[in-house]
């Protein structure tokens, strides 16, 4: 495997707080020796675990980009035990554009792992995270939302764990983050995973890893941002990295697994009959797709194939064949 061409301003082996950039060489017409500057912050003090926290894996998912920016400004060497590494805009070109994928190479970072050190910018970022950063980590937290097209209530995502110890750690972190919901993957997530996600990359490196879906719809929710900031501090506290933080009482998390996805088979305008957190039964009509181009045509009604709670809903009204309209979760 070739070495990464990305150069970091941060020396991960030195105690203290460092801010700077991962510098990705990017030579283009308007800038022959240009660089993509991916912001990075490290706070290291004494003995303790290493945790990598990233936001902006998808560029149109905002709460954690703000929450991690606040954390970067607020924590100092004296607050931390161990090594905290933060990337607020992991796929920087996508995050700067406010789009899911990179406008430079159309790369979806979270479908690009394990990446390629000599590939496109998105492939180079994936490779750097998997091969340079993750091997140094004990914990990896990858914060998402539904992006521009989907909305999730605050939901933690985790696997079942590869061992009793890992499962215990995951549940401890889930309790610490204290989102109202957890989406638990009941398959995959093993060490041999071929997953193209950052979570898959962390699994390959034996790192304890969690994701979260925190709202979406291309906006920022005041409530979800507050929950995200609280959850991140509680998680760091639970692994001993923020010893001075005083965690408040836990609200509790409902564990779900996804049992149904409602997909569009027509292009048109979707009228949903349900919202997130609604309870639905098998056979209930989920909504209908209208065809205003032919207003005399009957809308196409779509049904839920399994009952449960609506965990995810499409945001834009205009839908195309193949779009995901709803996901339904059932209690684990
Ligand atoms: Zn995402």
Examine residue 121 and state whether it is found in any structural domain, yes or no. Answer: yes
Helix (H, G, I), strand (E, B) or coil at 296: coil
What pLDDT is recorded for position 187? 74
| Domain end residue (candidates: 252, 273, 288) | 252
Examine residue 113 and state whether it is found in any structural domain, yes or no. Answer: yes
Question: Rounded distance, CA 304 to CA 294, Å?
Answer: 26
CATH value at residue 214: 3.40.630.10
Examine residue 2 and state whether it is found in any structural domain, yes or no. Answer: no
Interval between CA 214 and ligand 1 midpoint (Å) = 9
Question: Rounded distance, CA 203 to CA 199, Å?
Answer: 6
Interval between CA 16 and ligand 1 midpoint (Å) = 31
**Same domain, yes or no: 156 and 234:** yes
Interval between CA 55 and ligand 1 midpoint (Å) = 9
Which stretches of the chain score pLDDT less than 50?
none
Tokens of 5: 């061409």
Interval between CA 66 and ligand 1 midpoint (Å) = 15
Interval between CA 101 and ligand 1 midpoint (Å) = 10
**Same domain, yes or no: 118 and 22:** yes
Question: Rounded distance, CA 260 to CA 277, Å?
Answer: 14
Interval between CA 293 and ligand 1 midpoint (Å) = 33
Interval between CA 7 and ligand 1 midpoint (Å) = 25
**Same domain, yes or no: 277 and 246:** no
Interval between CA 227 and ligand 1 midpoint (Å) = 18
pTM of the entire structure? 0.96
Interval between CA 80 and ligand 1 midpoint (Å) = 28
Interval between CA 274 and ligand 1 midpoint (Å) = 23
**Same domain, yes or no: 116 and 138:** yes
Q: Tell me: the pLDDT tens digits for 23-57?
A: 999 999 999 999 999 999 999 999 999 999 999 99
Other Cβ atoms less than 10 A from the Cβ of 118: the count is 11
| Domain end residue (candidates: 252, 284, 301) | 252
Interval between CA 318 and ligand 1 midpoint (Å) = 20
Examine residue 147 and state whether it is found in any structural domain, yes or no. Answer: yes
Examine residue 1 and state whether it is found in any structural domain, yes or no. Answer: no
Interval between CA 128 and ligand 1 midpoint (Å) = 19
Q: What angle do CA 251, 203, 324 make, to 5 degrees?
A: 65
**Same domain, yes or no: 302 and 230:** no
What pLDDT is recorded for position 212? 98
**Same domain, yes or no: 41 and 186:** yes
Reading across the β-sheet that carries 285-290, which strands appear in turn? 300-303, 285-290, 268-272, 318-319
Examine residue 78 and state whether it is found in any structural domain, yes or no. Answer: yes
Domain ranges, residue 60:
7-252
Interval between CA 147 and ligand 1 midpoint (Å) = 6
Interval between CA 58 and ligand 1 midpoint (Å) = 5
Question: Rounded distance, CA 210 to CA 231, Å?
Answer: 12
Interval between CA 1 and ligand 1 midpoint (Å) = 27
**Same domain, yes or no: 202 and 100:** yes
**Same domain, yes or no: 119 and 156:** yes
CATH value at residue 308: 2.40.50.100
What pLDDT is recorded for position 194? 86
φ and ψ of 158, to 5 deg: -150, 160
**Same domain, yes or no: 226 and 268:** no
Nearest to 143 by CA among 39, 75, 69: 69
What b-and-e string marks burial along 233-255, b requiring 16 or more CB atoms within 10 Å of the CB? bbbbbbbebbeeeeeeeeeebee
Examine residue 212 and state whether it is found in any structural domain, yes or no. Answer: yes
| Cβ–Cβ < 8 Å for 202, 276 | no
What b-and-e string marks burial along 12-37, b requiring 16 or more CB atoms within 10 Å of the CB? eeeeebbeebbbbeeeeeeeeeeebb
φ and ψ of 63, to 5 deg: -55, -50
Q: Which residue has the tokens 């564990």?
A: 255
What pLDDT is recorded for position 68? 98
Examine residue 312 and state whether it is found in any structural domain, yes or no. Answer: yes
What pLDDT is recorded for position 241? 98
Domain count, the chain: 2
| Domain end residue (candidates: 232, 252, 272) | 252
**Same domain, yes or no: 195 and 327:** no
Question: Rounded distance, CA 122 to CA 59, Å?
Answer: 12
Question: Rounded distance, CA 239 to CA 216, Å?
Answer: 28
Nearest to 303 by CA among 278, 267, 274: 274
φ and ψ of 23, to 5 deg: -105, 110
Tokens of 195: 């997953």
Interval between CA 59 and ligand 1 midpoint (Å) = 8
**Same domain, yes or no: 241 and 281:** no
What pLDDT is recorded for position 2? 78
| Cβ–Cβ < 8 Å for 140, 198 | yes
Q: Tell me: the pLDDT tens digits for 291-300?
A: 999 999 999 9
Interval between CA 46 and ligand 1 midpoint (Å) = 33
**Same domain, yes or no: 128 and 241:** yes
């Amino acid at each position: 495997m070739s070495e990464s061409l990305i150069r970091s301003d941060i020396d991960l082996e030195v105690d203290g707080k460092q801010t700077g950039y991962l510098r990705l060489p990017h030579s283009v017409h308007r800038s022959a020796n240009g660089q993509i500057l991916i912001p990075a912050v490290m706070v290291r003090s004494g003995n303790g675990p290493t945790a990598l926290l990233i936001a902006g894996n998808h560029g149109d998912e905002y709460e954690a980009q703000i929450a991690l920016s606040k954390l970067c400004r607020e924590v100092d060497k004296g607050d931390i035990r161990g090594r905290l590494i933060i990337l607020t805009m992991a796929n920087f070109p996508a995050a700067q554009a406010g789009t899911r994928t990179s406008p430079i190479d159309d790369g979806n970072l979270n479908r690009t792992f394990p990446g390629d050190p000599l590939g496109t910018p998105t492939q180079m970022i994936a490779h750097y995270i998997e091969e340079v950063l993750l091997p140094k980590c004990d914990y990896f937290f990858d914060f998402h939302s539904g992006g521009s097209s989907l909305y999730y209530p605050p939901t933690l995502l985790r696997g079942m764990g590869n061992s009793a110890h890992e499962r215990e750690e995951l549940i401890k972190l889930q309790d610490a983050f204290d989102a109202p919901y957890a989406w638990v993957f009941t398959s995959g997530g093993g060490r041999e995973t071929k997953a193209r996600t950052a979570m898959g990359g962390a699994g390959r490196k034996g790192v304890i890893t969690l994701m979260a879906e925190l709202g979406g719809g291309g906006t920022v929710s005041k409530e979800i941002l507050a929950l995200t900031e609280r959850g991140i501090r509680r998680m760091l506290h639970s692994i001993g990295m923020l010893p001075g933080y005083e965690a408040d009482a836990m609200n509790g998390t409902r564990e779900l697994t996804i049992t149904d996805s409602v997909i569009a088979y027509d292009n048109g305008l979707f009228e949903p009959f349900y919202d997130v957190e609604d309870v639905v039964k098998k056979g209930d009509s989920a909504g209908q797709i209208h065809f205003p181009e032919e207003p005399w045509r009957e809308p196409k009604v779509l049904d839920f194939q399994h009952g449960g709670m609506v965990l995810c809903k499409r945001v834009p009204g205009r839908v195309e064949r193949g779009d995901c309209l709803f996901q339904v979760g059932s209690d684990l």
